[in-house]
Amino acid sequence: MIGDGPGGGNGSGRDDRGVSSAVTYSFIVVITLALTGGLVVGTDALIQDQRQQVVTDQLDVVGQRLVATVETADRLSATANAPDSLAVTREFPDRVAGSAYRVRVVNENPGGTESTVYVETVDGEVSIAVRVSVDSANGIEESTVTSGAIRVRYESSNGKLVVDGA
Amino acid sequence: MVTPDGDRSGRRPRARTDDRIAGPSRGQLLLAGAFVLAVGIIGLTFVLNTSVQTNTLAESETGIARGGDALAARQAVRADIGDFLTALNRAYDEDGGATDPWHEYRDAFRAGVPPLARGVRDHHATGGRLVNVTAPSALATAFEDGFRVKQETTDSFAKPATRTAVDPVGQWRVVRDSRVRNATFRFEREVSTSDPAFRVVFEESASGDEWAIEVFEQPTTPGNWRLEVQFEGSTVDSCTGPPRSNAVRLDVDDARFGGDYCPALSRLDPEPTYTVEFRNGDNVRGQFWMLVDRQRPDGPPSSGLPPAVGPQVGIDSTEYERALYGVQVAFRYHSSTVDYETDLVIAPGEI
């Protein structure tokens, strides 16, 4: 019988001679899976890189904004008489690109006026550092605060600025 | 009958052999492609969204939120109160004989602060901020009494008591152990360009260090007025004024010489308190005005006008009148992010 199915045919001009539909289907599935897997893995890596960059950018923005706030508080404390009260409260995002983060203030030298503000994800994967120096206040107290609302206040007992949670 | 997709019998046309092979393959690839595209779009959306959030985060920085507006408000209040103080010192004259010789100034200041504060409050209330200014009630802390020491008629800057002498004393201690603001000089001419130049010396009370402003005419033709700022006898910086054929004005706190900005004057930085002394004052003619604080920590003075001249009063001059040297006001600023309360000591133009 001469038919149209695989293996059939009536001459050497057919290009599917000797190929069964099952083999073709298997090849297609395997190749498709390989392509799909490769693309997914590649896309995932790309997205992870981009996400990491976004986290870094956002932590940088948070750090810069916090340092700007500290500097403003420092300038506000620059009066002949020490301020009776001074507090600047800022709202920062609770998470950046899905990651929780915290802020650490570390003094470069004990009793000095230069400090470094570290903004880092809780898992420690990403961390940025911004240096800040105060002129009017007697320095910044070392502290660690979690994300969200952060307050910079003037502590009249020692003339220092304090970064704490609001 | 002919159907849109079929032949006359209504049956679909049979696919060609190539189509039967490509059909399932195309479906699988489309499915896989769609899946990858979906994953990619979701990832891209996530990244773009967080990126947009970063921008939003960065752009949401406003002066009001950060506290810059509080600084601006404080500066504006300083300027307003300073202008008011200047106007008040111009408008009021001493009345002599009162138990509190500065009471007119104080009363006028107290009366003037509430309308000014109302204007400040109304202006900032439109932006959702509470800004208030009040004058403290305690006399000792609210007001810093002072004098305007001056020489309004053009004359030598030599010690007044010796000017009629053949050889006047060029060294004149004008202010002792005090602070000075709004110091203004107008020099008509230098008497002799070959003699030592006129100097205004600020001798710091604590350290004894000397800052000086030396003013002279350039001897070469056509000469200009010249000014040098010196520290401990060494020139720190200098600037050139207008032609010496014209009188020249010197505003020390504004750092202006002959009406132009003189950077050298910005470097003048004596630590209060200091003694102000004219040296070689017999070599120049002109006028001067300056506001001097009383430096009396023991409260309002007893009756009578200076000179109750003594070292603690700080005035060693012949022409003077009462003035308010400085005032202290309570400043409050409250916004959604900033809580700020402080006392502002205002003495505009202080050196």
Which of B256, B329, B259 has its CA nearest to residue B80? Answer: B329
* Average pLDDT value for residue range B15-30: 58
Name every residue in A having a CB less than 8 A away from some CB of B: 4, 14, 16, 24-25, 28-29, 32, 35-36, 39-40, 43-44, 46-47, 50-51, 54, 57-58, 61-62, 65, 68-69, 72-73, 75-76, 79-90, 93, 96-97
Looking at residue B300, its pLDDT comes to 36
- Cβ within 8 Å, pair A58-B57: yes
Yes or no: say if A130 and A163 are a contact pair by the CB < 8 Å rule. Answer: no
Cα angle B274, B280, B282 (rounded to 5 degrees) comes to 120
Looking at residue B100, its pLDDT comes to 64
* Average pLDDT value for residue range B103-123: 89
Residues of chain B contacting A163 with CB distance shorter than 8 Å? none
* Average pLDDT value for residue range A91-100: 86
Q: Most A CBs within 10 Å: which of B16, B18, B28, as the mutation test of the A interface?
A: B28
CB neighbours of A52 closer than 8 A, spacing ≥ 6?
A: A125, A126
* Average pLDDT value for residue range A22-46: 83
* Closest chain A residue by Cα to residue B31: A32
Which range, A107-111, B276-280, B318-322, is most confident? B276-280
A144: left (phi over 0), alpha (psi -120 to 50) or beta: beta
How confident is the model over B115-169, as pLDDT tens digits? 999 999 999 998 889 999 998 777 666 888 888 888 888 999 988 777 777 777 7
d(CA B63, CA B54): 19
Looking at residue B101, its pLDDT comes to 67
Yes or no: say if A147 and A165 are a contact pair by the CB < 8 Å rule. Answer: no
A145: left (phi over 0), alpha (psi -120 to 50) or beta: beta
- What percentage of residues in chain B have a pLDDT greater than 90? 38
Residue that wins the pLDDT comparison between B343 and B31: B343
Q: Which helix (H) or strand (E) holds A23?
A: helix A21-76
Which of B288, B295, B289, B305 has its CA nearest to residue B326? Answer: B295
Looking at residue B259, its pLDDT comes to 93
CB-closest option in A32, A46, A81 to B32: A32
* Average pLDDT value for residue range B54-71: 74
Q: Is the pLDDT of residue B40 over 70?
A: yes
The distance of A104 to chain B (nearest Cα, Å) reads 20
CB-closest option in A4, A43, A89 to B43: A43
Looking at residue A63, its pLDDT comes to 94
d(CA A83, CA B343): 7
Residues of chain A contacting B35 with CB distance shorter than 8 Å? 36
Mean pLDDT taken over chain B: 81
Tokens of A163: 């970064």
Residues of chain B contacting A29 with CB distance shorter than 8 Å? 28
Residue that wins the pLDDT comparison between A81 and B58: A81
CB-closest option in A4, A89, A90 to B17: A4
Q: Is the pLDDT of residue A45 over 90?
A: no
At A115, the pLDDT band (50, 70, 90 cuts) reads very high
Q: Is B329 on the interface with A (CB under 8 A)?
A: no
Comparing A14-18, B27-31, B238-242, B312-316, which segment has the lowest mean pLDDT? B312-316
Residues of chain A contacting B24 with CB distance shorter than 8 Å? 25, 28
Q: Is the pLDDT of residue B102 over 70?
A: yes
Q: Is the pLDDT of residue B194 over 80?
A: yes
Looking at residue B306, its pLDDT comes to 42
Is the link from the previous residue into B273 a cis peptide, with omega within 30 of 0? yes
The 3-state secondary structure of chain B, one letter per residue = CCCCCCCCCCCCCCCCHHHHHHHHHHHHHHHHHHHHHHHHHHHHHHHHHHHHHHHHHHHCCCHHHHCHHHHHHHHHHHHHHHHHHHHHHHHCCCCCCCCCCCHHHHHHHHHHHHHHHHHHHHHHHCCCCEEEEECCCCHHHHEEEEEEEEEEEEEECCCHHHCCCCCCCCCEEEEEEECEEEEEEEEEEECCCCCCCEEEEEEECCCCCEEEEEEEECCCCCCEEEEEEEECCEEEEEEEEEECCCCEEEECCCCEECCEECHHHHCCCCCCCEEEEEECHHHEEEEEEEEEECCCCCCCCCCCCCCCCCCCCCECCCCEEEEEEEEEEEEEEECCCEEEEEEEEECCCEC
- What percentage of residues in chain A have a pLDDT greater than 70? 89
* Average pLDDT value for residue range B93-103: 62
CB neighbours of B115 closer than 8 A, spacing ≥ 6?
A: none
Looking at residue B133, its pLDDT comes to 94
- A 10 A CB-CB count for B134 gives 14
Q: Is B304 on the interface with A (CB under 8 A)?
A: no
- Cβ within 8 Å, pair B345-A93: no
Residues of chain A contacting B61 with CB distance shorter than 8 Å? 65, 68
Cα angle B217, B220, B221 (rounded to 5 degrees) comes to 100
* Closest chain A residue by Cα to residue B343: A81
Yes or no: say if B48 and B40 are a contact pair by the CB < 8 Å rule. Answer: no
Q: Is B58 on the interface with A (CB under 8 A)?
A: yes
- Cβ within 8 Å, pair B47-A79: no
What is the interface pTM, i.e. ipTM, of the complex?
0.76
Looking at residue B3, its pLDDT comes to 47
Looking at residue A41, its pLDDT comes to 84
**β-bridge mates for residue B202, sequence order:** B211, B276
Q: Is the pLDDT of residue B7 over 60?
A: no
Looking at residue B304, its pLDDT comes to 34
Looking at residue B301, its pLDDT comes to 39
Comparing A93-107, A138-152, B43-57, B200-214, which segment has the lowest mean pLDDT? B43-57
- What percentage of residues in chain B have a pLDDT greater than 70? 79
CB neighbours of B9 closer than 8 A, spacing ≥ 6?
A: none
